[in-house]
A and B are shown apart, each in its own frame.
Chain A
């Protein structure tokens, strides 16, 4: 039974037990909460119940979450943790035992202090950064004056003299000198340094010539430069700044090593983050309830097999909770929980990547599983690659803690490897032609037409199977005539057309094809109004035969991908062999081994990707198109969900079965 039946439940309990019951439900993770106000029965309740408001702590939890997220971001910025390539697909979580996790969640004070340290560290770091920028800018400004030997604090106007530093544009420098000579009285000028565009000078003028001098400087676009607050010669000031920079660098090192000590607390922060977000989810769920002065009502969905366990637990652990359940009503949108046993479970990922089935549909997973297994094997069709793929999948599933879809995908690849191993032996592919063993069945390279024929046969079986499933759905829905009209006549018609190619069945084939066609013409227009329209759309429906034709032809990709894997592998082997002959014995062997390793690894990855996506496509377009629409809503129970940690919990007695039934959607 791949789709689990759901029960609508109502839980009524005393207000005082609310938190306890919430914690219990959250722990069990068996109930999907429904907003009482949108539930079907709200109109009956509304005179009795008030909608509950989300409780106050949500805001507090929100701000604490913000603090923890800030700490994690801050640590990540300064001491990043990189995800490996595999983790980018599968996600990475740290595994904690329940005791470790609850040990972490009790450390609110610790988290507060880490947050404070992170804040201080960040403030320190930004202060250091600001000061460094300031020093660097000042150093840059002082650079042209490095050879100036007068202490900067002495460059100032006196009662009789004007004394200043100026930056004069090179173009205006000569003119300025002439003008000064003509208009000002005696003056002192020292050229300190000259850049490409600017000449840096030190000037002393008599105080009396202040006005003409300032006018001349203005017209020459020369800037008077001052260093307020600095004492000592520019060189001495620069030395001081360099020292200060070194000091700042040291200080930063100290701050960073303080931060590095905080990195050790990253697991705590991650666990605390998940703890807080779960607490917040619990508080937010309160808004879904309805209540009276002293009681509250909760509405939700529970998988039918888990119901009795839930009732028992509630009876044991609470005093006032009353649980009422009923079957879903027609108008209700029931969440869908898939549950496949054994190897078929791995193929749930294929279904889920397309869509969860809706309530009335069949779960296509167990039906597509054998086809996916076989088609993947034909596409890869190499015993060596299959073995490697299975071993790699086995290694990954051992090494990494994967849940949900990641785990299913790995299992799917493991099974695909086995299938490829089998087809590789059947078709004689061992790393292409590296190991020359005769095929158990035949090698498609020797007789591609024969293999193409088998691909079409596989495709026809797949397509017919999909049609059969749709017929089964119609019959189960009490419309056996629909099954006959929409699938039965097509089945007869198509088989008739195929048999036309076989001379010994010619007369039978003709009658089958004509009969099927007649049936289709008579029935396919039944939704139309008026005799003419009915007849016309019945006739037009025969055009759909092109759809079936292209569906079946589409399976030729099985042959093409199988050939591609084999021929590319052989090409790699040939190149390896060539390298060995060109480069001589020792070096040649090294090159050959490198070529073979790299080439076959590349081909394995590319061919596995191709096999996976093309096999999926055959399910989605050719197979699902016959009977499956999807569009269901996945069951999302109220329970523990985490971003960073994976809490390994000991299974509670009496719930092992139901937990297994519900564990799969928590991806």
Chain B
């Protein structure tokens, strides 16, 4: 179909890593919070809503990764037709690099955020009125995923593609 020397391979690898790594991180993070939350809900089923809110927080990295992957797919023509088979090696590598911030930071920050949010679930267990503070602790972690997303998006829009 096309040779390995085409840059499209690297570009698609970038998209795959952005979606894949950030998604794995989010899955682990959300899983960590879910375990804590299930423990609390055993005691008090009415806390389902509050704990679900905390569980949703580490899920955003996966969405940011998907977002980045989607932008790549759109820019290299996977979506919308006209896949750029003749993409240069340099352009492909550039797209791959642009995907790295959200892929790496998304992966690790989602796990770290999952831990912070799981600790927040402990706050909800004892003092449900302090939900706001528990959320803020988890959001402090998310900042870096947002910054990485910003870097990835700006890099992607900065690469001139035909």
Contact = CB atoms under 8 A, between A and B. Distances in A.
A567 B53 contact: no
Interface string B36-73: 00000000001111100100110110011011001100
Interface string A537-550: 00000000000000
Contacts of B133: 353-354
Contact of B132 (A88, A353, A564, A610): A353
Contacts of B139: 613-614, 616-617
Nearest to B64: A564
A598 interface: no
Nearest to A88: B49
A554 interface: yes
A564 B154 CA distance: 12
B70 A567 contact: yes
Nearest to B140: A617
B83 interface: no
Contacts of A400: none
B50 A89 contact: yes
Contacts of B104: none
A574 interface: yes
A614 to B, nearest CB: 7
Interface in A562-595: 563-564, 567-568, 571, 574, 578
Contacts, number: 84
B50 A88 contact: yes
A559 B154 CA distance: 11
Contacts of A616: 132, 135-136, 139
A620 B153 contact: no
A83 interface: yes
A210 interface: no
A282 interface: no
Interface string A601-616: 0000010011001101
Interface in B126-147: 131-133, 135-136, 139-140, 142-143, 146-147
Contacts of A188: none
B149 interface: yes
Contact of A606 (B60, B149, B157): B60
Given A571-B67, A578-B79, A617-B140, A560 B49 contact: no
B33 to A, nearest CB: 14
B119 interface: no
A85 B79 contact: no
A613 B132 CA distance: 9
Nearest to A350: B132
B123 interface: no
B149 A564 contact: yes
A560 B147 contact: yes
Contacts of B74: 574
A325 interface: no
B9 interface: no
B108 to A, nearest CB: 18
A363 to B, nearest CB: 17
A343 interface: no
A209 interface: no
B79 A564 contact: no
Contacts of B150: 452, 556-557, 559-560, 563
Nearest to B59: A606
A115 B67 CA distance: 59
A448 interface: yes
A132 B71 CA distance: 65
Contacts of B70: 567, 571, 574
A433 B31 CA distance: 33
Given A89-B49, A560-B147, A564-B63, A609 B56 contact: yes
Interface in A78-115: 83, 85-86, 88-89
* Interface class of chain A by DSSP: helix
Contacts of A621: 140
Q: Chain B interface residue count: which class?
A: 35 or more
A574 B46 contact: no
A561 interface: yes
A620 to B, nearest CB: 6
Contacts of B136: 613, 616-617, 620
- Residue with the greatest number of chain B CB neighbours at <10 A, chosen from A354, A613, A614: A613
A614 B147 CA distance: 12
A354 B63 contact: no
B54 to A, nearest CB: 11
A559 to B, nearest CB: 6
A85 B49 contact: yes
A574 B67 CA distance: 13
Contact of B146 (A353, A449, A560): A560
Contact of A83 (B46, B59, B66, B79): B46
A557 B153 contact: no
Nearest to B56: A609
Interface in A57-90: 83, 85-86, 88-89
A557 B143 contact: yes
A561 B135 CA distance: 17
A200 B88 CA distance: 84
- Residue with the greatest number of chain A CB neighbours at <10 A, chosen from B49, B56, B57, B133: B49
B143 A561 contact: no
Interface in B100-130: none
Given A88-B49, A610-B60, A557 B132 contact: no
A353 B150 CA distance: 28
Contacts of A559: 150
Contacts of B46: 83, 88
A617 B56 contact: no
Given A571-B70, A606-B60, A556 B48 contact: no
A8 B151 CA distance: 56
Given A448-B154, A571-B67, A574-B79, A613 B147 contact: no
A620 B139 CA distance: 12
Nearest to A353: B132
Given A88-B49, A574-B79, A448 B153 contact: yes
A354 B132 contact: yes
Contact of B63 (A568, A613, A614): A568
A557 B147 contact: yes
B128 to A, nearest CB: 10
A567 B79 CA distance: 14
B149 A613 contact: no
- Residue with the greatest number of chain A CB neighbours at <10 A, chosen from B59, B71, B131: B71
A289 to B, nearest CB: 30
A298 to B, nearest CB: 29
A598 to B, nearest CB: 15
Nearest to B47: A88
B67 A567 contact: yes
Nearest to A610: B60
A654 B157 CA distance: 64
Interface string B79-94: 1100000000000000
A237 to B, nearest CB: 41
17 contacts: A88-B46, A354-B132, A354-B133, A445-B157, A452-B150, A554-B143, A557-B147, A564-B67, A571-B70, A574-B74, A606-B59, A606-B63, A613-B57, A613-B136, A616-B132, A616-B139, A617-B140
Interface of A: 83, 85-86, 88-89, 353-354, 445, 448-449, 452, 554, 556-557, 559-561, 563-564, 567-568, 571, 574, 578, 606, 609-610, 613-614, 616-617, 620-621
The 7 residue pairs across chains A and B that have the minimum distance between CB atoms: A353-B132, A88-B49, A560-B150, A571-B70, A557-B146, A613-B139, A560-B146
